Structure 1
Amino acid sequence: MTPTKAIRVWLTPPGPNSWKVVNVIEELGVPYEFVSFKFEHVKSPPFININPNGRVPAIEDPNTDITLWETGAIIQYLISQYDPNKLLHYDTLKEHNLCIQWLSFQISGQGPYFGQCGWFSVLHPEKIPSAIERYQNELKRILGVLETVLASRPADQQWLVGDRITFADLSFVPYNDRVDVLLGVPADKKFESFPHVKAWHEKMIARPAWIKSMEHRARLMDEQGLDWHGLPKGVANIEEFEKSLKQGEE
């Protein structure tokens, strides 16, 4: 199907999950527009009417009258509806199901563990060494799984499935792009001990779709006056952020 109307992507710009969806849309060349709003409104109307779970992203597709939330569901919908030429997927039995497998691993493994690592390493007002260690170790374990699989691939087929990029690969990019922050290491050291993951990741972030997605993110972050970690500039952690919200209500 060729869309005639822009898909609306509801998001708060800081978090990685929204950019999984935007990156896939960019790769497919589907028209879209942002409904960008502040994080403190994620549990309030009008967004809660779009996604009762109050999590970003969500999409509204006026071409099909479908509203969806949860990135796995959104990505599979975009592929089935707007990738007739199989730019980002396979329709063969084995490869199709392997792509779903890797997307499921990203959703159930990488996303939750990397997200918790970010919370305890960066945002949580109290530094809890045991929690930071646990989630940093889980982060490295996830990278180790990816490294093992990519290292087993032929040199000219460094993708998770088959011999070309798919939505399975793309789903890992936003969280992997923040490994340096999560581990507290320099950017050039974030994939130390994971050379195949490094090469795979660098191929994907060099693609025009990712570059454009990150340009959009930077613009939307700046419009909201947000720092790199997603909090307002000058605010160090969630505790300070919540205090500033309460003061604003008084």
Structure 2
Amino acid sequence: MSHGKQFTLFTHVGGPNGWKVAFVLAELGLTYESVYLDFGKGEQKAPEHTKYNPNGRIPTLIDHKNGDLAIWESGAIIVYLADKYDPEGKFSVQGDEKYAQLQWLFFQASGQGPYFGQAVWFKKYHPEQLPSVVERYQKETLRVLGVLESVLSKQEWLVGGKLTVADLSFIPWNNFATALILADYPDFNFEKDFPATAAWHSKLTSRPAIKDVWGQRDTLL
């Protein structure tokens, strides 16, 4: 494994969870090398990866400046990066607000990611067409956007009155929501239905570091 950069990120070109870690790394100015695993070849389940991540999924982060510490689960990786590499709190908060930040990271990992992921699976990859299942996960996607809207309609950012890793964690799956999950949902209009959330998402995706990282994805697809 090359140690030319501080981190190695095992990820996947199409996997949103790897990209949210890449966003945090980029915003913190940390250097990393991405290793894109080929799911078609089962590389995520191969010993070269499972020796770091027994779950055999992405992302996995190796910190070469901390004894090659391996961390998996995207939420845990983001908490690690915030705790260890954002001492000035540029993209994180401390004190009691840290638990508010943590609750949003948990909500993203348990509420947004799984539901949006199932929506993508049943719309695009499942061998059978199951309209009722697709509709269920589309409605869950709308529900999650509604939760965000209920908060962002009252404040600019999720926690601490500033942009944090909590906000950054929602970007990739929200991209999927608008481009794929709800693209054909009757009368769906992101800016009209969820104006505060759409404005927040636009602010996030217009950031130079985010545009650069997501642009890398576009070149790889």
Whether the aligned pair in 1 keeps the contact of 2:6 and 2:63 (CA below 8 Å) is: yes
Residue 110 (structure 1) aligned with residue 112 (structure 2):
yes
| Deviation sequence 1:32-52 (CA, Å, 0-9, x none) | 111122112211231122211
User: What is aligned with 1:10?
Assistant: 10
Measured on the aligned residues, the alpha-carbon RMSD in Å equals 1.6
User: What is aligned with 1:229?
Assistant: none
Q: What TM-score does the superposition give when structure 2 sets the normalisation length?
A: 0.91
- Offset, 1:191: 4.6
Unaligned runs of 5+ in 1: 222-250
Q: Give secondary structure in 1 for the equivalent of 2:193.
A: coil
- Offset, 1:5: 4.4
Distance in structure 1 (CA, Å) of the matches to 2:46 and 2:220: 20
Q: In the alignment, residue 92 of structure 2 is paired with which amino acid? A: H
Residue 172 (structure 1) aligned with residue 181 (structure 2):
no
Whether the aligned pair in 2 keeps the contact of 1:5 and 1:31 (CA below 8 Å) is: yes
User: 1:234-245 counterparts in 2 under 5 A?
Assistant: none
- Offset, 1:9: 0.4
Q: In the alignment, residue 29 of structure 2 is paired with which amino acid? A: G
Whether the aligned pair in 2 keeps the contact of 1:36 and 1:220 (CA below 8 Å) is: no
Distance in structure 2 (CA, Å) of the matches to 1:34 and 1:62: 14
| Deviation sequence 1:77-122 (CA, Å, 0-9, x none) | 00111101111111122x1110001001001100000000000111
Distance in structure 2 (CA, Å) of the matches to 1:131 and 1:82: 41
User: What is aligned with 1:90?
Assistant: 93
Runs (4+) off by over 4 Å? none
Residue 163 (structure 1) aligned with residue 161 (structure 2):
yes
User: What is aligned with 1:71?
Assistant: 74
Distance in structure 2 (CA, Å) of the matches to 1:76 and 1:177: 22
Unaligned runs of 5+ in 2: none
Q: In the alignment, residue 193 of structure 2 is paired with which amino acid? A: S
Q: In the alignment, residue 184 of structure 1 is paired with which amino acid? A: A
Q: What TM-score does the superposition give when structure 1 sets the normalisation length?
A: 0.81
Q: Give secondary structure in 2 for the equivalent of 1:178.
A: helix
Whether the aligned pair in 2 keeps the contact of 1:117 and 1:136 (CA below 8 Å) is: yes
Whether the aligned pair in 2 keeps the contact of 1:20 and 1:173 (CA below 8 Å) is: yes
Distance in structure 2 (CA, Å) of the matches to 1:104 and 1:192: 27
| Deviation sequence 1:115-143 (CA, Å, 0-9, x none) | 00000111112110110011000000000
Distance in structure 2 (CA, Å) of the matches to 1:191 and 1:71: 28
- Offset, 1:163: 1.6
Number of residues paired by the alignment? 212
Instruction: Name the % identity.
Output: 44
Higher mean displacement: 197-206 or 118-127:
118-127
User: What is aligned with 1:139?
Assistant: 141
Q: Give secondary structure in 2 for the equivalent of 1:51.
A: coil
Q: Is the radius of gyration larger for structure 1 or structure 2?
A: 1
